[in-house]
Amino acid sequence: KAGVTQTPRYLIKTRGQQVTLSCSPISGHRSVSWYQQTPGQGLQFLFEYFSETQRNKGNFPGRFSGRQFSNSRSEMNVSTLELGDSALYLCASSLVLAGEDTQYFGPGTRLTVL
Amino acid sequence: GENVEQHPSTLSVQEGDSAVIKCTYSDSASNYFPWYKQELGKRPQLIIDIRSNVGEKKDQRIAVTLNKTAKHFSLHITETQPEDSAVYFCAATNYGGSQGNLIFGKGTKLSVKP
Protein backbone atom coordinates (compact mmCIF):
# COMPACT_ATOMS: atom_id res chain seq x y z
CA LYS A 1 0.00 0.00 0.00
CA ALA A 2 1.16 3.50 -0.72
CA GLY A 3 1.99 5.57 2.32
CA VAL A 4 0.59 8.91 3.39
CA THR A 5 1.35 11.61 0.86
CA GLN A 6 1.37 15.37 1.25
CA THR A 7 1.48 18.13 -1.32
CA PRO A 8 3.20 20.38 -1.84
CA ARG A 9 6.40 19.41 -0.07
CA TYR A 10 7.69 22.98 0.13
CA LEU A 11 5.95 26.35 0.13
CA ILE A 12 7.15 29.90 0.45
CA LYS A 13 4.56 32.56 1.20
CA THR A 14 4.52 36.12 2.47
CA ARG A 15 2.74 37.51 5.49
CA GLY A 16 -0.98 38.04 5.00
CA GLN A 17 -1.35 35.42 2.30
CA GLN A 18 -3.27 32.20 2.72
CA VAL A 19 -2.20 28.64 2.00
CA THR A 20 -3.84 25.27 1.45
CA LEU A 21 -2.05 22.01 2.17
CA SER A 22 -3.22 18.59 1.06
CA CYS A 23 -2.95 15.14 2.62
CA SER A 24 -3.85 11.80 1.07
CA PRO A 25 -4.12 9.04 3.68
CA ILE A 26 -3.27 5.40 3.28
CA SER A 27 -5.99 3.65 1.31
CA GLY A 28 -8.79 2.56 3.65
CA HIS A 29 -7.78 4.89 6.47
CA ARG A 30 -10.62 7.09 7.66
CA SER A 31 -8.88 9.34 10.18
CA VAL A 32 -6.53 12.18 9.29
CA SER A 33 -4.79 14.27 11.94
CA TRP A 34 -2.72 17.38 11.37
CA TYR A 35 0.28 18.51 13.39
CA GLN A 36 2.54 21.55 13.37
CA GLN A 37 6.21 20.82 14.07
CA THR A 38 8.62 23.57 15.10
CA PRO A 39 12.02 23.38 16.81
CA GLY A 40 10.75 25.22 19.87
CA GLN A 41 7.31 23.66 20.37
CA GLY A 42 7.79 20.19 18.97
CA LEU A 43 4.78 18.38 17.53
CA GLN A 44 1.54 20.18 18.28
CA PHE A 45 -1.88 18.79 17.41
CA LEU A 46 -3.99 20.93 15.10
CA PHE A 47 -7.10 18.85 14.40
CA GLU A 48 -8.40 15.40 13.52
CA TYR A 49 -10.95 14.51 10.89
CA PHE A 50 -12.86 11.27 10.79
CA SER A 51 -15.50 10.45 8.20
CA GLU A 52 -15.58 14.06 7.00
CA THR A 53 -16.21 15.43 10.51
CA GLN A 54 -13.78 17.33 12.71
CA ARG A 55 -13.46 15.19 15.81
CA ASN A 56 -10.88 17.11 17.79
CA LYS A 57 -9.23 20.49 17.62
CA GLY A 58 -6.02 21.67 19.22
CA ASN A 59 -5.24 25.04 20.68
CA PHE A 60 -4.68 27.03 17.50
CA PRO A 61 -6.39 30.24 16.31
CA GLY A 62 -9.30 30.18 13.92
CA ARG A 63 -6.96 31.07 11.03
CA PHE A 64 -6.18 27.37 10.95
CA SER A 65 -8.97 25.30 9.46
CA GLY A 66 -9.39 22.03 7.67
CA ARG A 67 -11.76 19.69 5.99
CA GLN A 68 -12.00 16.11 4.85
CA PHE A 69 -13.54 14.78 1.69
CA SER A 70 -15.56 11.64 1.13
CA ASN A 71 -12.45 9.81 -0.12
CA SER A 72 -10.74 10.67 3.23
CA ARG A 73 -8.31 13.11 1.62
CA SER A 74 -7.89 16.15 3.81
CA GLU A 75 -6.90 19.75 3.32
CA MET A 76 -5.64 22.27 5.80
CA ASN A 77 -5.94 26.00 5.26
CA VAL A 78 -4.10 28.81 7.00
CA SER A 79 -5.34 32.33 6.34
CA THR A 80 -3.60 35.64 7.01
CA LEU A 81 -0.20 34.01 7.39
CA GLU A 82 2.15 35.20 10.13
CA LEU A 83 5.91 34.73 10.41
CA GLY A 84 5.32 32.34 13.32
CA ASP A 85 3.38 29.98 11.05
CA SER A 86 6.64 28.88 9.47
CA ALA A 87 6.86 25.20 10.33
CA LEU A 88 6.72 21.65 9.08
CA TYR A 89 3.08 20.60 8.79
CA LEU A 90 2.59 16.88 9.15
CA CYS A 91 -0.52 14.86 8.60
CA ALA A 92 -1.05 11.34 9.91
CA SER A 93 -3.65 8.77 9.02
CA SER A 94 -5.06 5.84 10.90
CA LEU A 95 -7.55 3.14 10.07
CA VAL A 96 -9.97 4.22 12.74
CA LEU A 97 -9.89 7.00 15.32
CA ALA A 98 -6.45 8.29 16.28
CA GLY A 99 -5.29 6.48 19.39
CA GLU A 100 -7.34 3.37 18.67
CA ASP A 101 -4.95 2.46 15.89
CA THR A 102 -1.43 3.32 14.79
CA GLN A 103 -0.96 6.72 13.17
CA TYR A 104 1.21 6.82 10.06
CA PHE A 105 2.80 10.13 9.19
CA GLY A 106 3.27 11.76 5.82
CA PRO A 107 6.55 13.43 4.78
CA GLY A 108 5.24 16.87 5.69
CA THR A 109 4.93 20.24 3.98
CA ARG A 110 7.64 22.73 4.86
CA LEU A 111 6.01 26.18 4.98
CA THR A 112 8.16 29.27 5.09
CA VAL A 113 6.49 32.63 5.68
CA LEU A 114 8.54 35.68 4.72
CA GLY B 1 -5.96 18.39 29.25
CA GLU B 2 -3.06 16.00 28.90
CA ASN B 3 0.52 17.23 29.23
CA VAL B 4 3.57 15.13 28.40
CA GLU B 5 7.05 15.93 29.69
CA GLN B 6 10.06 14.23 28.09
CA HIS B 7 13.64 13.99 29.38
CA PRO B 8 16.41 14.40 28.51
CA SER B 9 16.20 16.76 25.55
CA THR B 10 19.56 15.53 24.27
CA LEU B 11 21.38 12.27 24.91
CA SER B 12 24.78 11.18 23.68
CA VAL B 13 25.97 7.59 24.09
CA GLN B 14 28.78 5.40 22.80
CA GLU B 15 27.92 2.69 20.33
CA GLY B 16 26.97 -0.46 22.21
CA ASP B 17 25.77 1.37 25.31
CA SER B 18 22.13 1.58 26.39
CA ALA B 19 19.93 4.66 26.11
CA VAL B 20 16.93 5.50 28.27
CA ILE B 21 14.39 8.23 27.57
CA LYS B 22 11.70 9.04 30.13
CA CYS B 23 8.27 10.63 29.80
CA THR B 24 5.67 11.62 32.34
CA TYR B 25 2.01 12.35 31.65
CA SER B 26 -0.62 14.19 33.61
CA ASP B 27 -3.96 12.61 32.64
CA SER B 28 -4.55 9.38 34.54
CA ALA B 29 -7.14 8.41 31.90
CA SER B 30 -4.45 8.13 29.21
CA ASN B 31 -4.22 4.56 28.01
CA TYR B 32 -2.09 4.48 24.85
CA PHE B 33 1.59 5.45 24.69
CA PRO B 34 3.44 5.30 21.36
CA TRP B 35 7.06 6.18 20.65
CA TYR B 36 8.12 7.70 17.34
CA LYS B 37 11.57 8.00 15.79
CA GLN B 38 12.29 10.87 13.43
CA GLU B 39 15.51 10.89 11.44
CA LEU B 40 16.75 14.16 10.04
CA GLY B 41 14.55 15.35 7.19
CA LYS B 42 12.22 12.37 7.45
CA ARG B 43 8.77 11.66 8.78
CA PRO B 44 8.14 10.35 12.32
CA GLN B 45 7.83 6.57 12.37
CA LEU B 46 6.28 4.44 15.08
CA ILE B 47 8.89 2.19 16.70
CA ILE B 48 6.95 0.74 19.62
CA ASP B 49 3.79 1.40 21.60
CA ILE B 50 2.21 0.20 24.81
CA ARG B 51 -1.32 0.17 26.13
CA SER B 52 -2.23 0.65 29.75
CA ASN B 53 -3.15 -2.97 30.35
CA VAL B 54 0.52 -4.06 30.22
CA GLY B 55 3.59 -2.89 32.09
CA GLU B 56 6.31 -3.73 29.58
CA LYS B 57 6.72 -4.50 25.91
CA LYS B 58 9.85 -5.53 24.06
CA ASP B 59 10.82 -5.66 20.40
CA GLN B 60 14.40 -6.81 19.81
CA ARG B 61 16.68 -4.02 21.12
CA ILE B 62 13.81 -1.72 22.04
CA ALA B 63 11.61 -1.92 25.11
CA VAL B 64 9.03 0.32 26.73
CA THR B 65 7.96 0.23 30.35
CA LEU B 66 4.86 1.84 31.85
CA ASN B 67 4.20 2.78 35.46
CA LYS B 68 0.55 3.82 35.66
CA THR B 69 0.72 4.69 39.35
CA ALA B 70 3.56 7.14 38.84
CA LYS B 71 2.26 8.15 35.41
CA HIS B 72 5.51 7.68 33.59
CA PHE B 73 6.79 5.52 30.78
CA SER B 74 10.26 4.96 29.40
CA LEU B 75 11.97 3.88 26.20
CA HIS B 76 14.99 1.62 26.53
CA ILE B 77 17.37 0.99 23.62
CA THR B 78 20.09 -1.60 24.20
CA GLU B 79 23.27 -2.16 22.19
CA THR B 80 22.86 1.20 20.47
CA GLN B 81 24.09 1.60 16.90
CA PRO B 82 24.89 4.75 14.89
CA GLU B 83 21.67 4.28 12.92
CA ASP B 84 19.72 4.76 16.16
CA SER B 85 20.75 8.43 16.03
CA ALA B 86 17.53 10.43 15.61
CA VAL B 87 14.96 12.44 17.54
CA TYR B 88 12.61 10.29 19.61
CA PHE B 89 9.14 11.46 20.61
CA CYS B 90 6.87 9.96 23.21
CA ALA B 91 3.13 10.54 23.15
CA ALA B 92 0.05 9.80 25.20
CA THR B 93 -3.66 9.69 24.56
CA ASN B 94 -6.92 8.43 25.97
CA TYR B 95 -8.20 6.51 23.00
CA GLY B 96 -11.90 6.05 23.16
CA GLY B 97 -12.25 9.28 25.08
CA SER B 98 -13.64 12.51 23.73
CA GLN B 99 -10.13 13.87 23.22
CA GLY B 100 -8.32 10.96 21.62
CA ASN B 101 -5.61 12.94 19.86
CA LEU B 102 -1.96 12.25 20.58
CA ILE B 103 -0.12 14.68 22.87
CA PHE B 104 3.61 14.58 22.19
CA GLY B 105 6.62 15.25 24.35
CA LYS B 106 9.15 17.80 23.06
CA GLY B 107 11.52 15.12 21.81
CA THR B 108 14.95 13.69 22.68
CA LYS B 109 17.83 14.02 20.26
CA LEU B 110 19.84 10.82 20.57
CA SER B 111 23.39 10.75 19.21
CA VAL B 112 25.22 7.43 19.07
CA LYS B 113 28.95 7.86 18.64
CA PRO B 114 30.85 5.11 16.84
- CB–CB of A102 and B46 under 8 A? yes
pLDDT in tens, A14-69: 999 999 999 999 999 999 999 999 988 889 999 999 999 998 888 899 999 999 99
What is the rounded average pLDDT for all residues in chain B? 93
Whether residue A102 lies within 8 A of chain B, CB to CB, comes out as yes
- What's the CA gap between A105 and B45, in Å, rounded? 7
Please determine, for residue A104, whether its predicted confidence score (pLDDT) is greater than 60: yes
What is the rounded average pLDDT for all residues in chain A? 93
pLDDT in tens, B62-102: 999 999 999 999 999 999 999 999 999 999 988 765 556 78
- What's the CA gap between A81 and A36, in Å, rounded? 14
Question: Residue A101 — very low, low, confident or very high, per pLDDT cuts 50/70/90?
Answer: confident
Interface of B with A (CB under 8 A): 32, 34, 36, 42-46, 49, 89, 91, 93-96, 99-107
- Partner residues linked to B103 by β-bridges: B92
What would the DSSP string read from start to end of chain A?
A: ----EEE-SEEEE-TT--EEEEEEPPTT--EEEEEEEETTTEEEEEEEEETTEEEEE-S--TTEEEEE-TTS-EEEEE-S--GGG-EEEEEEEESSSBTTB--EE---EEEEE-
Q: Average pLDDT in the B12-24 region? A: 98
- What's the CA gap between A90 and A3, in Å, rounded? 13
Q: Average pLDDT in the A78-82 region? A: 97
Query: What residues of chain A lie within 8 A of the CB of B45, using their CB?
Result: 105
- Backbone φ and ψ for B9, nearest 5 degrees, come out as -80, -30
- CB–CB of B107 and A42 under 8 A? yes
* Percent with pLDDT over 70 in chain A: 97
